[in-house]
Structure 1
């Protein structure tokens, strides 16, 4: 019996290796879920490696940013993402944000508007004129033009004085991204919505769930045109009720997305990030940093569908191959008539 068990283990390992060799770059089924929040980048499994939702060089769009503390954390170690690859948006106007989050809002905005990437080796200084963005007055004129095009206030348009700084937008509705000219003219590799919530204060749980599902549905519909060919949509939610009842993965599937991977959200990986309530300053009954949360990564393109399909097929084929080979072994070892079966108690 022990020999049969060893043979089965060898066959499982061989089949898994063969299937894995046929699927280039495919994530292992279940990767990330067993990692306990240290889920790896690109679905691989590596000891001590944290779950990373973005890839190097991604153009990143952040929506529903609250006080912009998450955007700030991405520019700092250990991420140190180039500021010019980050566009951060808030639902509130600049003034509303400062009033809603008086302890952090204005300070984080000032940081993002002044923090610059290191000078490139080619000697580009990143100043307004040399970078091609013009003076601050010209940037403001562009901002007003963008706002007029979208039918929103001037706060909506991007603030940028240098090619090496992040782009900030205000008055941006995550369910109406197509109304923002700056976003409409670009494609993003990674669009992030952390802890989406309507903040409506509805006490009836069923109605509250429905309102937040509608928010997610609107976002998933609006973000599609903003994605690059292999663009990813990243959503983080708290774990447990009522968030699990929102059925995020089912909503994403219905909107034409496929789940690439997921992993526990690691608060410590984002220095200075503070989850802020939609309604303003204050924590929920339990501090956000003490609550378990999970990050989901979705893809919309055929490429991601092929990867997900390949993963499922590889798992299915591996199982079928093992069963077939075990059945063949049993047939080969089945004693023929007249043969001695003295070794059948192996």
Structure 2
């Protein structure tokens, strides 16, 4: 595939760059040694330390790139594979769904939904129509005006079962418009209510070994949502909590959705919480 050749070429180019950076580092060290008693040496030592920090950061990014390249070649990306039946809930401009579809090469096992109508998406998101068209070309089933709280009763989803149900950054909207505060008790309750009903609905749509994934901010006040406790209350258990990074999902642009829909927001400290059915609950 063309993508495979491009990834391989880029990987080799990055390897060459790392070797060149290592060579330059040794050259800097060589220059510092004869100047140990000169003021300039201190400046060079500072430069070497800065270089080291930059180099280590580059190495981390390179390792992450290599891991992503392997996932893309194998029809996998992070927690997901093309063999899984996947439902995406509450999509904004559908860029996350498209990211998965591109990694898989096909979206035939994917269903992507949004609370918005197709017309609303067209008005509110600059890339939504382009993303939707590519998803449809790749075989993704797309449904609009799907409420996450009652989606298990949706006529098109009622008989479907999924291996992975994904809801990224759930948000109930703002109760009091622009004057709303994420810290207020009533606002947090609204978010908790959304998550609780989503869990109940998603639970009914899971395969035997399926998982529900919720990506969510973990800093205050979002930590006050207590989504793990809510999940446990409805019959789910936490499989794992893993740090979320946008770098793991090339092309994904997280959107605000409420009010200024097409703007991104800082994800900050966020995790993907993976839940599965707790059979002891039943």
Give the secondary structure class of the aligned counterpart of 1:288.
Answer: coil
Q: Is residue 72 of structure 1 aligned with residue 98 of structure 2? A: yes
Q: Is residue 195 of structure 1 aligned with residue 195 of structure 2? A: no
Shift, 1:82, TM fit: 3.2
Shift, 1:231, TM fit: 1.1
> Separation in 2 of the partners of 1:230 and 1:81?
24
Q: Kindly indicate which of the two structures has a greater share of residues assigned to strand.
A: 2
Give the secondary structure class of the aligned counterpart of 1:182.
Answer: coil
Shift, 1:95, TM fit: 0.2
Shift, 1:52, TM fit: 2.9
Q: Kindly indicate which of the two structures has a greater share of residues assigned to helix.
A: 2
1:262-277 aligned at under 5 Å gives the runs 262-277=241-256
1:199-214 aligned at under 5 Å gives the runs 199-200=173-174, 201=177, 202-203=180-181, 205-214=184-193
Give the secondary structure class of the aligned counterpart of 1:190.
Answer: strand
> Separation in 1 of the partners of 2:172 and 2:151?
16
Q: Specify the alignment match of 2:211 in structure 1.
A: 232
Q: Is residue 168 of structure 1 aligned with residue 139 of structure 2? A: no
Q: Specify the alignment match of 2:83 in structure 1.
A: 57
Counterpart of 2:127 (choices 104, 107, 111) is 104
How many residue pairs align between the two structures? 202
Q: Specify the alignment match of 2:275 in structure 1.
A: 298
Shift, 1:274, TM fit: 0.8
Shift, 1:239, TM fit: 2.3
Q: CA RMSD in A?
A: 2.1
Q: Specify the alignment match of 1:220 in structure 2.
A: 199
CA contact (8 A) 1:229 1:301 kept: no
> Separation in 2 of the partners of 1:232 and 1:109?
25
CA contact (8 A) 2:200 2:234 kept: yes
> Separation in 1 of the partners of 2:79 and 2:251?
18
Q: Answer with 1 or 2: which has the greater Rg.
A: 1
Q: Is residue 88 of structure 1 aligned with residue 66 of structure 2? A: no
> Separation in 2 of the partners of 1:57 and 1:198?
31
Shift, 1:281, TM fit: 3.0
> Separation in 1 of the partners of 2:236 and 2:172?
22
The TM-score normalised by the length of structure 1 is 0.55
CA contact (8 A) 2:78 2:248 kept: no
Larger relative contact order, structure 1 or 2 (CA cutoff 8 Å, min sep 6):
1
> Separation in 2 of the partners of 1:49 and 1:205?
41
Name the stretch that deviates more: 211-220 or 200-209: 200-209
CA shift digits 1:5-50 (9 cap, x unpaired): xxxxxxxxxxxxxxxxxxxxxxxxxxxxxxxxxxxxxxxxxxx867
> Separation in 2 of the partners of 1:281 and 1:169?
19
Give the secondary structure class of the aligned counterpart of 1:258.
Answer: strand
Does the C-alpha gap of structure 1 residues 75 and 56 become closer, same or farther in structure 2, counting only changes over 3 Å?
closer
Counterpart of 1:241 (choices 196, 214, 220) is 220
Does the C-alpha gap of structure 1 residues 105 and 56 become closer, same or farther in structure 2, counting only changes over 3 Å?
closer
CA shift digits 1:275-302 (9 cap, x unpaired): 1112143547xx425x221000000153
Give the secondary structure class of the aligned counterpart of 2:195.
Answer: helix
> Separation in 2 of the partners of 1:81 and 1:237?
27
